[in-house]
Amino acid sequence: PTMGEVGMKDFVVEQWQAVFAPARTPAAVVQRLNLEINNALKDPAVVALADKLGVTLVGGTPRQLGDLQKADSAKWAQVIRDGNIKAE
């Protein structure tokens, strides 16, 4: 059965990738990387390939990525606690 069929109508799992840099990377370098990556995500060839693969391109700012990472960590930590999941 699907998650919805077993009563978990709001169950959502999303997979994402991101580009990270070392912690002490100068802000100017981070900003330039961010600009160029966001520009690349708008390139028609990249958009076409992503569409063909069923990938949703998002882009954004380093702060948005940090917020997403924190939210995902908190969400899955709660799932682990609620499910009493233990590493073997």
Between CA 62 and CA 30 the distance in angstroms is: 8
Tokens encoding 44: 């028609």
Q: How far apart are the first and last CA of the chain?
A: 27
Output the pTM of the full model.
Answer: 0.78
**Dihedral Cα 70, 60, 41, 54, nearest 10 deg:** 50
Task: Tell me the helix, strand and coil percentages in the chain, rounded to 5.
Answer: 55, 0, 45
Check whether 4 has a pLDDT greater than 90: no
Between CA 7 and CA 26 the distance in angstroms is: 48
In this predicted structure, what is the pLDDT of residue 1?
85
